[in-house]
Amino acid sequence: MRLPLSDHEYGAHGVVLPPDDQTRHDDAPVPLETRLAIYRKLQEMRQFEKRAYDLFMRQLVKGTSHLSLGMEAISAGFGAAMRSDDLTFATYRGHAHTLARGVPMTPVLAELLGRANGLMGGKGGSMHLTSVEHGMLGSYAIIGAHMTIANGAAWSAQYRGSGQVTTCFFGDGTTNIGAFHEALNYAAVYKLPIVFVCENNLYMEYTSIADITAVAHPAADRASAYGLDPVVVDGNDADEVYLAATAAFERARSGEGPSLVEALTYRHGGHSRADPGKYRPADEVEAWKAYDPITLYRGRLVRLGVAADDLDVIDKEVAVAVDQATEEAIAGELPEPASAFTDLWADGGSSWRN
């Protein structure tokens, strides 16, 4: 009897390499202004995550954290294509998606530190970032659970005729969970204005998705079961992501229903800060780190005539902003004990107390 992992030792699976050509989208129809905004956002996400890692190592971050280092092009590309009133649902790896919606860095960083000036008063932490004001309707720690909730937000927009589109991000491991299939079927039946985005970083926590999934593309290869087109994009190329997002949003706003996008990417580190990621082949890690979304995008901008010095200015401006956010976050007070009894359902759920 052949078992899924019987052909090789754990962690010795086949190497998956990134694309070779980094220039194929140099001529893509993306305005230079949009590209510069995407580059700035990529830098914000990268430098923010590096700072979050540093603070975690200093034991200032409360609880664990799941970083998007190496995966920033997905959130940056989709964020650039969204309308300001569109809605986002993310997983516990939601720092970059939160920044993509325009949430300032200080309250996000303060939330990681458990401070009263945090995005949720220090009570949610890294895995539950939420800002209704910015259309960020939550980061969810239960795998796949947010997909059906995202359908509810999309149905609300459809009912109200608001033209809003909901985007629901999830990891490759979610594709083997029942909520994935339930959500896709429901959205397709009712033609909801929603875009499902699989951030396929090749590993569902500590195990290669290829080892325990019957199809090569865990999301896209299942799209036809729900009447959807299979869409696979390079999740490390922000322009390719942006173009796919724009097309999916146009489809949703025109009443044609949902889309399912599988974005191939790779996290630079382990699943969380407690994970050294030793189960990944060294040559695979090296190849994907060389195919870095920021290196790729910066090179494209330079080839298009943007001066490297101008990009350096953006880098430095972001660094100053991250430093300022760090100072403001650390200076925040710890929450008062009484705050534990605010922003919650009271009286058996019959009233809201804030």
* Per-residue model confidence as pLDDT tens digits over 5-15: 666 666 666 77
Better-predicted residue by pLDDT, 258 or 352 = 258
What pLDDT is recorded for position 347? 59
The one-letter code for the residue type at 294 is I
Torsion angle of alpha carbons 3, 4, 6, 11, nearest 10°? Answer: -150
Q: Measured between alpha carbons, how far is 40 from 35 in angstroms, rounded to an integer?
A: 9
Strands 351-353, 344-346: pairing is antiparallel
Q: Measured between alpha carbons, how far is 343 from 36 in angstroms, rounded to an integer?
A: 39
The secondary element (H helix, E strand) that includes residue 199 is strand 194-200
Q: Cβ(236)–Cβ(292) under 8 Å? A: yes
Q: pLDDT per residue over 246-273, tens digit each?
A: 999 999 999 999 999 999 999 999 999 8
Q: Who's near 133: CB < 8 A, 6+ residues apart?
A: none
What pLDDT is recorded for position 268? 95
Residue whose entry in the numeric block shows the structure tokens 């700035």: 40
Q: Measured between alpha carbons, how far is 330 from 70 in angstroms, rounded to an integer?
A: 26
- Which token pair is 16? 């998956």
Better-predicted residue by pLDDT, 12 or 177 = 177
Mean pLDDT of the chain: 93
The secondary element (H helix, E strand) that includes residue 352 is strand 351-353
Among 151, 167, 146, smallest CA distance to 75 is for 167
Task: List C-alpha distances in Å: 43 to 28, 57, 303.
Answer: 21, 21, 19
CA angle 352, 125, 99 (to 5 degrees): 100
What pLDDT is recorded for position 12? 65
Q: Measured between alpha carbons, how far is 42 from 53 in angstroms, rounded to an integer?
A: 17
CA angle 285, 276, 72 (to 5 degrees): 55
Q: Measured between alpha carbons, how far is 350 from 354 in angstroms, rounded to an integer?
A: 14
Q: Measured between alpha carbons, how far is 82 from 233 in angstroms, rounded to an integer?
A: 18
Q: Who's near 328: CB < 8 A, 6+ residues apart?
A: 106, 110, 117
Phi, psi for residue 291 in degrees, rounded to 5: -95, 55
What pLDDT is recorded for position 349? 54
What pLDDT is recorded for position 160? 98
**Alpha-carbon dihedral sign for residues 116, 123, 138, 127:** positive
% of the chain residues with pLDDT over 90: 83
The secondary element (H helix, E strand) that includes residue 140 is strand 136-140
Task: List C-alpha distances in Å: 294 to 70, 290, 291, 311.
Answer: 8, 10, 9, 11
Q: pLDDT per residue over 40-96, tens digit each?
A: 999 999 999 999 999 999 999 988 889 999 999 999 999 999 999 999 999 999 999
Report residue 136 CA to chain centroid gap. Answer: 12
The one-letter code for the residue type at 253 is R
Strands 207-208, 344-346: pairing is unpaired
Strands 87-91, 166-171: pairing is parallel
Q: Measured between alpha carbons, how far is 270 from 276 in angstroms, rounded to an integer?
A: 5
